[in-house]
Amino acid sequence: MNIEKKLSEQTIEAFKSLYGATIEKAVFEKTNPDFIGDLTFVVFNFLKISKKKPEETATEIGNFLKTNVPEVADFNVVKGFLNLVIDNSFWLNYFKYINGKPFINDTLPENASTVMVEYSSPNTNKPLHLGHVRNNLLGYSVAEILKAAGNKVIKVNLVNDRGIHICKSMLAWQKWGNEETPESTGIKGDHLVGKYYVEFDKNYKLQIADGKSKGLSEEEAEKQAPLMLEIQEMLRKWEAGDKEVRALWEKMNSWVYKGFDATYKMLGVNFDKTYYESNTYILGKNIIDDGLAKGVLKRREDNSIYIDLTADGLDEKTLLRGDGTSVYMTQDLGTAVQRAEEVHFDKLIYTVGNEQDYHFKVLFLILKKLGYKWADGLYHLSYGMVELPEGKMKSREGTVVDADDLMKVMVETAATTTRELGKVEGMTEVEAEKLFHTIGMGALKYFILKVDPKKKMLFNPAESIDFNGNTAPFIQFNYVRIQALLRKAAEGLGNFQDIDVFTHNIELLPKEKQLIIKLYNFNTVIQQAANEYSPAVIANYVYELAKEYSQYYHDTPILKEEQKDYVLFRLQFSRIIGNAIKSSMHLLGIEVPDRM
C-alpha cells in the first residue's frame, strides 16, 4: 500500500497529458506542518516543461491527481508547493492492513546485501569505559537497523589483544602485582588488569621526569626510560613466541575476557564472531611483503616499511617497524583481508570514534592501492567523543568512567526514582529489580543513541532518568500505559482483538489520522536510519510517536466512549501503537516493561 508510488506514477502521466513531456520521476515528501495536507510535490524544477507560473502548474497537476487518484480527497497550492490531502479511507485501509502484522519483517529479500558491522574493539589492558558504551550501543543498534532494512548482517568484534599497550599492563603486574589475581582480590578481571596499566603510566612518568632532570629532552627521556625499553623487549619476545611472555599474556587476557563478557551481557550487546589481532597481524605482515614485492610499498634505511601517500594529500605511513614488529595498521590490513575472504561482504562498517578518521582514510586507500576491489565497500562510522561535565576522560591516568560502574549507577538511580514515583506498588522484589534494570539501562541507551552519531556529546546520568521529556522512561511509561489499558479492556470485553471493527464506518479523529500516518512512515524511517547509520532517527521517531499518543490518550475517551465500535477501534489502535513503540525500541537495543 504505497501511496507515494501511485502518486508518482500518476504525476508522470499528468506531465504527459498536460504538457506532452516525459519526466523520469516525481518525488513526494511529507507536508510542512504549517500547511494543510499529507504529501507535497514541489513544481519549481518543472516550470521549463510547463512554461507556466508555479501556482498554475501546481493547480493543474493537483486537478489531474484529484481526478485520477481516488485517494486524493483535496489539495491546496502554496506558491510552487502542491499539498495533497489523502482521504481518510486510505489510512483506515492501511490500518486494517497492518493490524496483526509485525512491524519488523525478519525475512530477507533474495537480493539482500551482506553487511558486516564491527563495534566494541576493546584493548585487553583496561575495562570498557563510557566511550566504549557509546561505541557498543551505536554499533549494535546500527546492525539491528540494517537488519530491519533488509540486509544480511554479521556483527563482529575485533579484540586488540597484543602490542605495546598490552605489554604495559603485563610488565607492571610482573613488577608490582605480587601474584594477585581476580580471585585473590575480588576485583573483576578487566579492572585488575586496568589497574596495572595505570600503574605503568605512573612509574613511566617518574622515569621521564628523572631523565629530563639529567638533561635529556622530553622525547629522549621517553625513548630511553627503562620501562619503555623493557616493554619493547617484551613485545619482541611475544612476537618471537617466548613461552614465558606468552603464558603471562594468556593468563592476563583470560581475566579480561571473562570481565568483558559480563559487561557485554549487562549492556545487552552480542557478536556473531570475534576476531583477535594476535591472529591477524601475521596475515598483515604477509600482505605487506606482497605490497613490497609489487612496488606499492617501500623500505627505509632503518629497515621499516612504509607507503608514500603524499600525492593523495596524506602522509607517509609506516606499516612495519625497523625491528620487524607490527603497528596497528599491520593488523588492520590483515583483518580486513581475512574478513573479505571469509565473508565476501558487500559492505564493512567500522564503528570507531572520530579521532581515528585519518587512520581509516589511510587504511582504505592502502587496500585500494594494493588492488582489493572490495575496498570500495569499506565505511568508517565515525562518531563524536563522549565527555563528562568535568571534561575528557584519560585511560592512562585512571580518570575514565568504567562501563560497569556507570551501569550500576544507572540502575540504582532508576530504582530510587521509580520507588519515589510509586511505580513498583504490588510488585515482588524480583519484579521490581527487573524493572529497575530495564528502566536504568533503557535510560542510558536512549540518552546516548538519541544524539546524532557525528556529534560530540555530554553525558549527564541525572538527565537521562526522567519520566517526562525526551527520555526512554517517558517512552517506556507510555508503552506500559497501553498494556494496562489493554488488560483492563480484556477484563470487560474478553478477546476484543479478534473483533473486526472495519465492517463499520469509522470516522478518524485528526490525531488518529496523524498517528496512523506515523505508522505508515515506519519503514521509511528505518530506511533513512539505515542509509544514515543513525539510531538517532529511530529515537526521534519513537519519541514523537509516544508523545503524540500520550496527548491522544489524555484527550480521547477510549473505554469511556459510548459507541462500542469506537471503543474496539481505539483499543486496537492503541495496541498497534504499542507494538510500533516496542519494535522501535528493539532497534535501539532497549526493552520495554509490561508494568510499572
pLDDT recorded at residue 512:
95
Q: How far apart are CA 300 and CA 316, in angstroms?
A: 11
Other Cβ atoms closer than 10 A to 409: 14
C-alpha cell at 158: 575485533
- Cell 629532552 belongs to 217
**Start-end of H helices in 112-157:** 130-148
Q: Say which residues have a Cβ less than 8 Å from residue 539's Cβ, sequence separation at least 6.
A: 446, 449, 450, 588
- CATH architecture, domain 3-86: 2-Layer Sandwich (3.30)
Confidence band (pLDDT; 50, 70, 90) for 392? Answer: very low
The secondary structure of 283-330, three-state, reads: HHHHHHHHHHHHCCCEECCCCCEEEECHHHCCCEEEEECCCCCECHHH
pLDDT attached to residue 464: 81
Q: What pLDDT does residue 390 have?
A: 61
C-beta atoms surrounding 238 within 10 Å: 20
Kindly provide the b/e burial profile for residues 305-318, where b requires at least 16 CB atoms within 10 angstroms of the residue's own CB.
bbbebeeeeeeebb
Confidence of residue 70 (pLDDT cuts 50, 70, 90): very high
pLDDT tens-digit readout, 304-340: 999 999 999 999 999 998 888 778 898 899 999 999 9
154: amino acid identity, one letter: I
Q: Identify residue 68 by its one-letter amino acid code.
A: N
Q: What pLDDT was estimated at residue 502? A: 63
Pick the CATH number of 119-387 from 3.20.20.70, 3.40.50.620, 3.40.50.150, 3.40.50.1820: 3.40.50.620
Residues 6+ apart with CB under 8 A from 293: none
Distance of alpha carbon 61 from alpha carbon 75, whole angstroms? 10
Residues 342 and 225: their CA atoms lie apart, in Å, by 43
For the chain, how big is the Rg over CA atoms in Å? 29
pLDDT-based confidence at 505, cuts 50/70/90? confident
Domain boundaries, the chain: 3-86, 119-387, 403-587
User: What is the percentage of the chain residues whose pLDDT exceeds 70?
Assistant: 96
Residue 142 has pLDDT above 90, yes or no: yes
Residue entry with cell 605482515: 285
Helix 535-555 vs helix 472-493: angle between axes, to the nearest 10 degrees?
Answer: 50
Reply yes or no on whether the pLDDT at 398 is more than 50. Answer: no
Does residue 396 carry a pLDDT above 50? no
Q: How far is residue 422's CA from residue 477's CA, in Å, rounded to a whole number?
A: 13
Angstrom CA distances, 272 to 118, 143, 305, 382, stand at 10, 11, 34, 22
Query: In which element (H, E) is residue 531 found?
Result: helix 522-532
Classify burial at 438, counting beta carbons within 10 Å of its beta carbon; exposed 0-12, middle 13-18, buried 19 or more. buried
Pairing relationship of beta strands 273-276 and 152-159 according to DSSP bridges: parallel
**Mean pLDDT confidence for 230-241:** 92
Q: With contact defined as beta carbons under 8 Å apart, do 210 and 149 qualify? A: no
114 phi-psi bin (left φ>0, alpha ψ -120 to 50, beta other): beta
Segment 53-71 mean pLDDT: 96
CATH code matching the domain that covers 403-587, chosen among 3.30.1490.190, 3.40.50.360, 1.10.730.10, 3.30.260.10? 1.10.730.10
Q: Could you tell me the sign of the dihedral formed by the alpha carbons of 120, 154, 137, 383, in that order?
A: positive
CA distance 50 to 27: 17
State the pLDDT at residue 45. 93
Residue 124 to residues 156, 189, 200, 272, 495, Cα–Cα distance (Å): 17, 10, 15, 20, 54
Q: Which three cell numbers stand for residue 480?
A: 506500559
Instruction: Mention every residue, 6+ apart, whose C-beta is less than 8 A from residue 140.
Output: 119, 155, 268, 269, 270, 589
Could you tell me what percentage of the chain is helix, strand and coil, using 3-state DSSP and rounding each to the nearest 5?
60, 10, 30
Residue 120 has pLDDT above 90, yes or no: yes
Q: What is the pLDDT of residue 498?
A: 63
* Dihedral class, residue 5 (left if φ above 0, else alpha if ψ from -120 to 50, else beta): alpha
**Crossing angle, helix 189-213 and helix 243-267, to 10 degrees?**
120
User: What is the rounded CA–CA span in Å between residue 248 and residue 442?
Assistant: 38
Q: Quick check: helix, strand or coil at residue 441?
A: helix
